[in-house]
Amino acid sequence: MVDDLPVIPEAPRPRLQTLALLVGRVTTIKLAYWVALTAIEAAIPLAYPRAFSDRFPISVAITLIATAFTLAWTRVAARAPDRVAGVLTRTIPTVATTFAATTVVASPASLPLLILERERSLEGCGVGTCHIEAILLWIAVLAIGTLVIPGVFALSMRSDKSARSVGH
């Protein structure tokens, strides 16, 4: 009876090229997200010289737009085949790499935004923080970059079965 069971081939382990492609794509997306938001946050007071409370809704709107664009880009990048490495498949090693390596490599890029938001949180205050919403915005952006972007990337990678049907 054992001979009647179909043999399911084990999925190939990720190669170095595949993992390098994975880390490169996710890191590039996260860096671009944080750099864009940092540049825009630095430019908002110059383009719109108003009080913090008048500018903050603009910061939130821009963050939402940038996040939507970044998540769409993330989905496309996770599914796009590479000429050398092929298709990224969703396996335990690739998902773990998506979170671990890219967090270590890209997370320090959020620090300039933290410095800007900390400065914003002190605007117009006598002593201490009076605009905690600026820090909360940074925390949200950090969570998006650290958890949501890699999560969308991991969920968007092709399953092993669909990757094999693409030609691998």
Residues 114-134 pLDDT 10s: 999 998 898 888 788 889 999
The model's pTM is 0.80
SS3 158: strand
Mean pLDDT score across all residues of the chain: 84
Q: How far is CA 88 from the centre of its chain?
A: 17
Give the separation between CA 119 and CA 113, rounded to whole angstroms.
10
Q: What percent of the chain has pLDDT over 70?
A: 85
Beta carbons within 10 angstroms of residue 161's beta carbon: 9
How many structural domains does the chain have?
Answer: 1
Report if residue 23 sits inside a domain. yes
Can you tell me the mean pLDDT for 51-58? 94
Report if residue 76 sits inside a domain. yes
pLDDT given for residue 76 in this prediction = 95
Can you tell me the mean pLDDT for 157-162? 71
What does the radius of gyration of the chain's CA atoms come to, in whole angstroms?
Answer: 21
pLDDT at 13 over 60: no
Q: Which domain holds residue 37?
A: 15-161
Report if residue 90 sits inside a domain. yes
